[in-house]
Structure 1
Amino acid sequence: MRMVLELGIDGVAGMPGAKAAAVSQLQKHGSVDAAIDAVVVQHVGLSSAQGFMANVGGVLASVVSLPGNLAGLAVVQIRMVGAIAHLRGYDIDDPRVRTAMMMCLLGGEQLVKLIEKGVLPTTPMAVATAPVFDPDLDRRVAERVVLEMAARVGGTNGALLLTKRIPIVGGGVGAVVDGVATRQIGVFAASELRRRRSLNHGAPPA
């Protein structure tokens, strides 16, 4: 999970990192809110594309593609959350903020349940602005995110899982499922990570 976090934030071949994605959209749209909307739309498209490719081969291909689908989706989603955090004035190199970003991947509904059960102590916003970094919390969040994403990508719904295993049809279902999940996470991250300071037009925070 930490390696995926670094890939999404720092970038991989052919895909610049979260800060570059944030700055690019800010330069195009001129305001933080419009840039965030564009970031979400862009990453919904990216996640849908990789969801299609990972599931298009049906059940035999899924044995190989599932780990790739999980990693690919995580990179896209953490890049999106990182871009949103950057636009809102957070230092995404800060380990506290990175823990908060991983928490956003759980989504709002699941996060509320985990907080109510005592599995997690508080919200991403509180973690991002905490006085100190908590390595134990970071580990627990990483483990939980991997479990939750594996369940989503693998398909805990029986009918959905069977549909994803049909060649070609599975690609379309995978695209929709991953795209919808990414949009939900983007909307949650944008509402949770409230603005900390102004962001200069076209430039990352100082």
Structure 2
Amino acid sequence: MATQVAPQAAGGMLRRVLEVAIDGYGRVPSARAVAARQLGRHDGLVDDAIEGVIDNHVRLAGAQGFVTNLGGVATLPVSIPANLTGTAIVQVRMIAAIAHLRGYDVNDNRVRTAIVMCLLGGEQVAKRITQGRLPTSPMAIATAPMFDAGLDARVAQEVVADLLARVGGKKAGLVVTKRIPLLGGGVGAVIDGLTTYQLGRYAKSELLTRRSLQR
């Protein structure tokens, strides 16, 4: 099922994640607000602010990973989708904040496609490009001459399939471990935190400076 997600469903899921993560919702601050806060804390030094963004979101991912996996098998039907959505929001906001600090317009649909694509991570992006499933890198998509709706749908489908594969198929062993109360929470915290850290490093290396940041 993870490899056959309908493009419409994938796009709808990720659009909602993007809206919450980038634009903010309720008490959840926007990616721009997060970026501005870190920039202020680091005296306007962009690279230091990016490191602050990554560190903060690694902690957030680890915390929500622990909470949503703590109950063990009793909460498994609810906690898996909650964990996937929660982690995706944390990771998308982190990547969007990095993009903003590097001078990208996170309201631009091309940039939003690139942000979503970064959720795959460098290894998976390279693999899909080699296989012909994706045409180019997030950086190239973010700076393309025009928005490609078909490519956006394809990226959404690949990313949703990858997210689902994290709790099924090849990752089934991890799911079994998560069924053990307390131990499952610890595993969830470590895995979500480590994945978020890796994605943050990838986004920092991939989304090179676009223009001077206008604050």
Q: TM-score, normalised by structure 2?
A: 0.90
Q: Which of 107, 122, 136 is the aligned partner of 1:93? A: 107
Amino acid at match of 2:117: M
**Preserved CA contact (<8 Å) 2:32 2:97:** yes
Equivalenced residue count is 201
**Preserved CA contact (<8 Å) 1:105 1:185:** yes
1:43-65 deviation per Cα after TM superposition (whole angstroms, max 9, x unaligned): 00111111111111112211111
Asked if residue 28 in structure 1 is aligned to residue 41 in structure 2, the reply is yes
Amino acid at match of 1:92: V
Asked if residue 160 in structure 1 is aligned to residue 179 in structure 2, the reply is no
Amino acid at match of 2:148: D
Q: How far apart are residue 135 of structure 1 and its match?
A: 0.3
Q: Which of 166, 180, 202 is the aligned partner of 1:188? A: 202
Task: Name 2:143's counterpart in structure 1.
Answer: 129
Task: Name 1:169's counterpart in structure 2.
Answer: 183
Task: Name 2:211's counterpart in structure 1.
Answer: 197
**RMSD of equivalent CA atoms:** 1.2
Q: How far apart are residue 79 of structure 1 and its match?
A: 0.3
Distance 1:195 1:89 in 2: 6
Distance 2:156 2:173 in 1: 28
1:168-191 deviation per Cα after TM superposition (whole angstroms, max 9, x unaligned): 110010000000000000000000
Cα distance change on mapping 1:51 and 1:154 into 2, 3 Å: farther
Counterpart mapping for 1:29-108 below 5 A: 29-30=42-43, 31-108=45-122
Which has the higher mean CA deviation after the structures are superposed, 68-77 or 84-93? 68-77
Task: Name 2:157's counterpart in structure 1.
Answer: 143
**Preserved CA contact (<8 Å) 2:167 2:175:** no
Task: Name 1:15's counterpart in structure 2.
Answer: 28
Distance 2:150 2:72 in 1: 38
1:51-86 deviation per Cα after TM superposition (whole angstroms, max 9, x unaligned): 111111112211111111111111100000000000
Cα distance change on mapping 1:161 and 1:79 into 2, 3 Å: same
Distance 1:154 1:72 in 2: 17
Amino acid at match of 1:122: T
- In structure 2, runs of 5+ residues without a counterpart are 1-13
Q: How far apart are residue 13 of structure 1 and its match?
A: 2.2
Amino acid at match of 1:3: R
